[in-house]
Structure 1
Amino acid sequence: MEGPSPRAKTVANKWLFLLLLGLAAAAGRFLQAHGQLDNLGFISIDCGLPESAAGYVDNATKLRFTSDAGFIDSGINYNMSAEYITPSMGRSWHNVRSFAAGARNCYTLQSLVAGLRYLIRATFMYGNYDGLNRPPVFDLHVSVNYWTTVNISDANTPEIYEIITAVLADSLQVCLVNTGSGTPFISGLNLRPFKNGLYPMANATQGLVLVARANFGPTDGVIVRFPDDPHDRIWMPMSRPTEWLEISTTKKVQNMEDADSFEAPSAVMQTAITPVKATSPIEFSWDAQPNVNDPSPGYICILHLSELQLLPSNALRQFYITLNAELWDPRGFTPQYLYKNAAYNTDPQHAFRHYNVSLNATANSTLPPILNALEVFSVLPTSGITTAASDVSAITAVSKNWMGDPCLPKNFVWKGLDCIYAVSRPASVTGLNLSSSGLSGNVSPSFASLKGLQYLDLSLNNLTGTIPDTISQLSSLTLLDLTGNNLSGTIPSGLLKRTQDGSLTLRYGNNPNLCSNGNSCQILHKKKHSMVAVYAIVPIVAVVVIVLLLVLLICMRINKGIISKNLTPRNRTTSVHTSLQVNNRRFTYNELVAVTSDFQRVIGQGGFGEVYNGFLEDGTQVAVKLRSEYSDQGVQEFLAEAQTLAKIHHKNLVSLIGYCKDMDYMALVYEYMSEGALHEHLRGGENNTRCLTWKERLRIALDSAQGLEYLHKGCNPPLIHRDVKTSNILLNAKLEAKIADFGLLKAFNSDRDTHVSTARVVGTRGYIAPEYEATLQLTNKSDVFSFGVVLLEIVTGQPHILNDPEPTGIVLWVRRRLVSGNIEGMVDPRMCGDHDINSVWKFTDTALKCISQTPEERPTMKEVVVLLKECRELEAARVNSAAGYYTAESGGNPNSNAI
């Protein structure tokens, strides 16, 4: 961080020093911990405190510390070297737990609430506990996601790391990862729940890693945290008397109608700073901290603001807020008297090496800017897919000291496991080698839950009891090794049948009490006469097949002559259409009159012309798109669509059945999509009174994305649709979605091109990517932008342009509602809340990624497909478990100047 202008002094190190020094000196007064969840939902762990030692209550906070013995099974307890212990040091710093063995060691925090956000704080003080005087460097993971790198600077300096993350299950793991730069250790681990609505930027796909949290103004050096902050955030005092003036009040600063997204404590908001020189701005800055896991980190900055002085009627405090010279709100910001206000960016800021925030008085302001408190977070992707929950439950039921997720990250797969990985679904266990693992007792029934298991080696253990028949239900299992145990009884018939048909290799030797009653383990043999029957039947079948093939060949020759005769007169026009004759029928205009009953029923309208319902001679229902004489799309667009559709085929693209180019009449004949266009279902209407469920919307979005992905990646050269919108996504009777209307399709000259230049902008207002409008240069990312708008329409049920009350794009409409974390306020109310909130968050986050201002920040359609499959799986998990997640509270702060 940098201090205020004009000198812009760097104080980041001072902030960190104050934070750590203050914690080291005041830990006895401020740290608090629980071993188990209490009525506050807190967990606070003194790592390294012996299991035999009783927990203790902090004198200042009256909160209890507990040993970490119930949260982890590995590691060794150590005491800090006596020379580093001071009388004022809190008790929790006196000991550590160290992990010399294992690449990954994990704490498991349980009894959590799925869907809730939590603050997790890990603390470290080396104190030369091992006598080596070599402070280590290692990584922290939360679940399967990288959190941060712990870099211990010296033996006497504590290090504090915080993250705010949404929890998707009832437990969470925090893992210390050995990177080869010293032995990982930990002093303390705390967990604090946040109620719904707080820190809305933390969701299922991203967490917030604390960079700084400052309380401006106080000169007494007091750290504010629990109980003054009921969420137990650590607010470090920040005061520079030579450059800032302190303003304070003893009156309570209140939340804004209980809709505050951050709830900064009143004790923090009661102090503030203004510049000594009234005409100077308040400025602070920080440098980006890229790393291997996140080379271009994004940042969220939250300014906490409140007016602490009752101003006379002729006084005004108003100021602009800029981030790297970008103005947050052109109207200026005026904090309310004794009410909490917040200004912050909802979209993480990327691509800068240096970030500077400035508060400058407006021309009308009579008073300088004011700042009460500040938080800065880096954004951490937390969308890593974990191992399938059923597999995790089954594996952890086996008595073995494993740590973290079984299959992920891939370089930490548990010893003895083989896993299979998919882009869009959880990893699953395919192989399990537990040979010589000291297992005893019965064979665990949990193995039956490993549906993808291909081999299971339980040899050379001390297993007793019978072989469970449930193992025979593992259809993928090809090898089962039970050699060298003390199993008894017989082999289940299901396993014997599997060995008989050759689908399973079963090894069970050296089990003295197994199969001790004669033939109970004998493999049944097929009767010999069965093969005689086979030998007799084979020649007969062969003769029949030969006869049928001869008949079929004769019929094909006859039909070929008839078809050729019928098509020849119709194909004697121009050579332009010869490429279409192979797979697509060519209609005359009179035939289309008959097909559509003289164009009787209109089922759609587009820029090309009207679309009519029709039936072919065999009863097949079709859609006939007839070009209007008033259409802006001419012969070239028609030929482009017809010729392209003759070549491309995908289940999520509307199929072309035929075409007509008869004199001036031009038409395309498509497969009939009985449920019409997507936008009709999203808006409702006379024919579409039923609301689409969230599951149906997810499927439609995924189908559409797969169609676009095919155009972008499955065609050579790649194709750009240029008119992606909800009216060009059609649904069949099964609500399967297909992309339609290819009149504006544009092809790359080759698959090596980066863009296509056009003479004019075409498409539909509200869907057109900003860079295409500005430069006339198309890329695949232009379609991605349009598809992002489609996704927002799907989740909100709103049109791409709303009257709110003035015409407003849906992108801006959604952003306004997400500012306060009010995602339920933007979700289509017709779904009645029947959806997984994390699925909605991820879906919306995917849409916002698609509509990023710069093409480079947008995902590819292949990546969008992956993200949408993850959204679908989150919803499926909710339906399967019949347990919904907590949802964000409605409402928002109408006076919050947030972007």
Structure 2
Amino acid sequence: MVGPWPRSAMAAPWLLLVLAGVVLRVHGQADNLGFISIDCGLPVSASGYVDNATKLSFVSDAGFIDAGTNYNMSAEYITPSMGRSWHTVRSFTGASARNCYTLRSLASGLKYLIRATFMYGNYDGVNRVPVFDLHVGVNYWTTVNISDADTPVMVEVITLIAGDRPAQVCLVNTGSGTPFISGLSLRPLKDSLYPMANTTQGLVLLSRSNLGTSDSKVIRFPDDPHDRFWFPESKPTEWLEIATPLKVQHYDNDNFDVPSAVMQTAVTPINASKPIEYSWDAEPSAKNPAPGYMCILHFSELQVLPAGTARQFYININGILALDNGFTPDYLYSDPVHSTRAFDGFHQYTVSLNATPNSTLPPVLNAIEIFSVLPTTGVPTAAQDVSAITEIRGKYQVKKNWMGDPCVPKSFAWNGLGCSYAVSSPPSVTGLNLSSSGLTGNMSASFASLKGLQYLDLSRNSLTGSIPGILSQLSSLTFLDLTANQLSGSIPSGLLKRMQDGSLTLRFGNNPDLCSNGESCQPQNKKKTSKVALYVVVPIVAVLVIVLLLVLLICILKKKKGRAARNSVRLQNEASIALSRTRGSNGQSSVCLDNRRFTYAELEAFTDGFRREIGRGGFGKVYDGFLEDGTQVAVKLRSESSDQGVQEFLAEVRSSQL
């Protein structure tokens, strides 16, 4: 039901809520009934409390959402009869258009009754009532239209939550005022209840009426074990009220489980020759311009009929016969009749109960529920991706707008996420940009659970520890940026191989303790030395032909006393770009290129252990490789068997630079 509650209900006992101060130790979880009862806007520092009337426990909403601001209702709107749960609201004034509560029930059922309540009470002091949308999961639920500051509004939906996903309720800013909420409840239902609610449609409550009582009491928990609200309704000018103190029972296959307290009263027409009529108006909205409606009629015979009398009647909805034969309710047994398909296309709907020619008594009606049909055909993000990205959000405490479904609806996809929307499969996460997001700690293995991930940017954070080798198993990953973190250890060989074969762009610069040899990180003096000269140049790649352009910078040959060019030379500077190693006559001389130099282990990593030979020259073999930023390079080795000596090699370096 979207709209104000009957004002008479404001004085009903269940709303008085004189509350005991019982502290609840667990936030964000259900009670032992599987119920979740949330007082929205209640400070997290405040104790939870127990409603004296229902004995249900209420908690702060802080454990269910990490956005919004708490407010108190303006004092002028608070009355002694008002329950505590109305005193506060949570308001969503931030930049995000969608803000979502995540409700996890301990119950095993997948069908839920979800209820949200609203009372503006001029909490923000601007005296401007808003209009906004609600979504349940990835589907539009209803539009909340607050009529005035002191009228409470309740909306309710019965919906099936597939798989092990939590129920999510999202408030969506549509540009007509700031969304807010007073209370939120979740009640698990048995799968057999409300069979019209299934994987393709939910039921949005329009009204739920307890007929035949002039009492203002609203029947709910504990009389109703499912905590449905049954509002009293009477028409003294049209209906007579009948009642019984005897318990009304249920058949084993009852799909609605209406409490006996509701079924113990009923109405019948004052004029026995007239039908009972119950009408409602269609409530179209911009998101659902032609809603369909389903109704459930609850019957029970409350009187022992004298011999020779009969109560039988036809059930019509807008002139359409619901049952081929007349209906006779059973004595003291709940006997529901419900529509199996939605009625639509009318501005007004009327249920009419007309006595059959064989009936000596007028029709009777105990209670009625009316729902609009909510299409639930929206497909949420793949469950594995939701689980993985939720773990990532929790580990790194990502705020942003990461609420609700990660990819759906498209207009509310999480900031930094790229998603694919294939027709034949659920949406999946294909890109994740968390650059400069303040991430700390080690790299979560959950990144590797995003199987469709193609792009991952974790640069400019404070990530520590090693790079998970399992990332190599992301077959779709083509770009990985780990630049400017505090990672350490070796880059997994699988990632290096993919970088070298061109299937992955891997960036990992500015991680001082990160090694790129793919195997181990050992001190420099334990690394393998070479008796050959290595020279790295940056080539330009043409189609199918690698043109090796040796980028050689000015080199100053420093010759020291020593033996002939047998002994290997020590690297002079490991932080430059080009490197040539040779031997001086005294075994201590080295050739120093005024450019960036690499360790032998780095050169091994760039070339995958000198695996791909791409040519030979006068000085020796040339190997294909890739720098850490993905730049393709060639590594030339001077062989000791080369006919050309070190001086010729250096001469080629100098000539190439000119």
Aligned match of 1:574 = none
SS of the residue 2:261 aligns to = helix
Deviation sequence 1:494-518 (CA, Å, 0-9, x none):
1111111111111111112222754
Deviations 1:109-166 (A, max 9, x none): 1144565311100000010000011111111111111111111111101110000111
User: What CA distance in whole angstroms lies between the structure 2 residues aligned with 1:350 and 1:481?
Assistant: 54
Deviation string, structure 1 residues 63-84 (Cα, Å, up to 9, x no partner): 2111111111111111000000
Q: Greater strand percent: which structure?
A: 2
CA distance in 2, matches of 1:233, 1:20: 18
Q: Indicate the SS of the match to 2:606.
A: coil
- Per-residue Cα deviation, 1:347-369 (whole angstroms, up to 9, x for no partner): 11122232111011111111111
Match of 2:35 in 1: 42
Using the TM superposition, give the Cα deviation of residue 436 of structure 1 relative to its aligned residue in structure 2, in angstroms. Answer: 0.6
* Aligned counterparts, 1:451-462, within 5 A: 451-462=451-462
Q: Letter of the aligned partner of 2:377 in structure 1? A: S
> Structure 1 residue 214 and structure 2 residue 209: aligned?
yes
Distance 1:20 1:31 in 2: 19
1:191 to 163, 186, 203: 186
Distance (whole Å) between structure 2 residues aligned to residue 202 and residue 313 of structure 1: 41
Distance 1:94 1:113 in 2: 29
1:524 equivalent to 2:607? Answer yes
Match of 1:456, SS state, is: strand
Inter-partner Cα distance in structure 2 for 1:86 and 1:153: 19
1: distance between equivalents of 2:314 and 2:17? 36
Judged with a 3 Å threshold, the aligned counterparts in structure 2 of structure 1 residues 85 and 529 are, in CA distance, closer, same or farther, namely: closer
For the Cα contact (< 8 Å) 1:43–1:190, is it kept in 2? yes
1:486–1:512 CA contact under 8 A, matched in 2:
yes
2:147 aligned residue: 153
Question: Alpha-carbon deviation of 1:285?
Answer: 1.6
**Structure 1 residues 275 and 386, CA, compared in 2 at 3 Å: closer, same or farther?**
same
Maintained 8 Å contact 2:266/2:366: yes
Quote how far apart the aligned CAs of 1:292 are: 3.2
Label 1:374 to 1:435 Cα distance change in 2 as closer, same or farther (>3 A).
Answer: same
Q: Which residue matches 2:55?
A: 62
Letter in 2 for 1:523: F
C-alpha separation in 1, matches of 2:451 and 2:333:
56
Secondary structure in structure 1 of the residue aligned to 2:448: helix
Partner of 2:510: 510
Q: Pick from 363, 367, 373: which aligns with 1:379? A: 373
| Pairing 1:363–2:365 present | no
Structure with greater Cα Rg:
2
What SS is found at the alignment partner of 2:38?
strand
Q: Which residue of 2 is the match for residue 271 of structure 1?
A: 265
- Counterpart CA distance in 1 for 2:153 and 2:7 is 6
Call closer, same or farther: CA 1:31–1:98 in 2, change over 3 Å. Answer: farther
The amino acid of 1:106's aligned partner reads C
Q: In the alignment, what sits opposite 1:297?
A: 291
Deviations 1:77-97 (A, max 9, x none): 110000000000001000011
Who is 2:406 aligned against? Answer: 406
What residue is the counterpart of 1:794 in the other structure?
Answer: none
Distance 1:267 1:306 in 2: 12
* 1:85 corresponding residue in structure 2: 78
1:282 aligns with 276
Give the SS at the match of 2:63.
coil
Aligned partners of 2:99, 2:66: CA distance in 1, in Å?
9
Could you say which residue in structure 2 is the equivalent of 1:570?
A: none
Shift of 1:295: 2.8
The CA deviation string for residues 683-734 of structure 1, in whole angstroms up to 9 with x for no partner, is xxxxxxxxxxxxxxxxxxxxxxxxxxxxxxxxxxxxxxxxxxxxxxxxxxxx
Tell me the residue number matched to 1:128. 122
1:311-344 C-alpha deviation (Å, 9 max, x unpaired): 0111111111101101112311111111111111
Q: Which string of whole-angstrom CA distances, capped at 9 and with x for unpartnered residues, describes residues 834-860 of structure 1?
A: xxxxxxxxxxxxxxxxxxxxxxxxxxx
2:107 and 2:437 map into 1 onto residues whose CA distance is 34
Correspondence 1:644-663 to 2 at 5 A: none
What displacement does 1:19 show? 3.4
CA, structure 1 residues 531+204, in 2 after alignment: closer, same or farther (shift >3 Å)? farther
Is the CA contact (8 Å cut-off) linking 1:490 and 1:520 kept in structure 2?
no
**TM-score, structure 2 as length reference:** 0.76
Distance 2:613 2:325 in 1: 93
Question: Structure 1 residue 470 and structure 2 residue 470: aligned?
Answer: yes
Partner SS for 2:6: helix
The Cα shift of 1:434 comes to: 0.3
Tell me the amino acid that sits aligned with residue 329 of structure 2.
Answer: P
Give, in angstroms, the shift of residue 265 of structure 1.
Answer: 0.8
Unaligned runs of 5+ in 1: 1-11, 533-899
* Residue 255 of structure 1: how far off its partner (Å): 0.5
Paired amino acid for 1:375: E
For the 8 Å contact 2:10–2:81, the answer to whether it is kept is no
Distance (Å, rounded) in 2 between the aligned partners of 1:314 and 1:528? 102
CA deviation profile, 1:610-632 (whole Å, cap 9, x unmatched): xxxxxxxxxxxxxxxxxxxxxxx
Q: 1:25 to 1:129 in 2, by over 3 A?
A: farther
Equivalent residues of 2:483, 2:509 under 8 A apart: yes
Label 1:436 to 1:319 Cα distance change in 2 as closer, same or farther (>3 A): same
Q: Which structure carries more helix by proportion?
A: 1
Contact map agreement 2:263 2:334 (CA 8 A) in 1: yes
Q: How far 1:223 moved relative to its partner? A: 0.9
